[in-house]
Amino acid sequence: MHNKLTYIIVLLCFLLSIPIANSQSNKQKELEAKRQKYQNELKQINALLFSDKKKEKSLVSLVEDLNYKVNVRRNLIKITNDQANLLTREINANQNEISSLREQLKELKDNYAEMIVKSYKSKSEQSRVMFLLSSDNFKQAYKRLQYIKQYRNYQEEQGELIKAKTLKLQELNTDLLRQKKDKDKLVLENREVKKQLEIELKEQEALMVSIRKNLSTYASQAKKKQQEIDRIDREIERLIREAIAASNKKAGKTSSPTSKFVLTPEAKALARNFESNKGQLPWPVEKGVVKVKYGTQPSPIDRTVTINSQGVKIATEKGTKVRSVFDGEVSQILVIPNANPVVMIRHGNYITVYKNMSKIYVKKGDKVNTKQEIGEVFTNQSNGETMLGFGVYKDSKTQNPASWIYKM
């Protein structure tokens, strides 16, 4: 009875260890996916922001680019550290499990050997027959027969459990060797990334020393730049309010608030489709990195200056085509004095905004499809920067584009 209980406990421990291992494996996959993301982002940054050494970028642009690169590299280091730490925990858990399995296997083998010896001593058919014939009645003989069968089955179960434990031990040893290799590789890679980060931080500090010498001028430029952005955003918001009012008037809903669209059944269906693709929409450019994120953030030049970004700024290559991220209708082509054109596309009660265009391929009222080219991004000839401003609005309220675009 004691041996049977031991068998059940050991089997349960074996089965319960499987979900834990799977959970750890899933966490490793999640971390590896993030690590690959940051590695790819660094490649994109190098290709889009640091490849053209001949172009003379402004000091401010250099600091912004380097600041972005440093932040991504720090994220890469953190994720790699998390992976290495998780591997350390998995290695320790595997080593403990291997030790426990070895003890269990030894106990199982000792019990099995003891059973074999007992079986050998009483193996003759005559002994078994006499054991049955010496029963006081038929009921006792039946129970003895069942006992013999159960004992034989238990022997077979013990043999199978030993096989399973031995196989599990072999698998754990293989996993342990792989985990140690993976950890060594991660540690080595992280060491190289940290060296590169140190170089970039020194370069960043050298640039900031130059900026601090004339900080008031650069801070003034940053404020002026933000004022220009705010001016364009206010114009976009005004046009969206006008579009809502015009659309609602056309639908005969003049009393409706001008902050929300009154939708036709067709527009409702389009809005639902747009919403159902949240997080899966294609990028508005084929290649790009988000240099400025959505929301309020301090300027990398002067921390006292606040950047208020209604959308994102995507750095890309010269001559890059801009694509509509979803089916819709061009609601406005906005041309503002001292600024580059803006295209606004309506998707039900959602509007996507594409700023800093150089060429426009569409006109107001055109129906567009997902990934249809609508124009080209403007390239600043003085610093070589090609930057697309991209925003998402629900009615008159801004949304974070990173929540809508795939892996932004």
C-alpha to C-alpha distance for 257 and 78, rounded to whole angstroms: 47
Across the 408 residues of the chain, what is the mean pLDDT of every consecutive 10-residue run?
Answer: 49 49 75 94 90 67 90 96 92 82 76 66 56 70 70 67 75 85 94 95 90 84 86 92 88 71 93 97 96 90 84 95 98 91 97 97 97 96 89 96 96
Span 319-367, pLDDT tens digits: 999 999 999 999 999 998 888 999 999 999 999 999 999 999 999 999 9
Q: What's residue 302's pLDDT?
A: 78
* Residue type at position 175: D
C-alpha to C-alpha distance for 299 and 305, rounded to whole angstroms: 6
pTM: 0.72
Domains by residue range for the chain, with CATH: 2-212 (no CATH), 226-403 (2.70.70.10)
Backbone angles phi, psi at 344, to 5 degrees: -120, 125
Q: Which residues contact 44 (CB under 8 A, 6 or more apart)?
A: 287, 288, 289
Q: What's residue 224's pLDDT?
A: 86
**What's the gap between Cα 249 and its chain centre?**
43
Q: What's residue 220's pLDDT?
A: 83
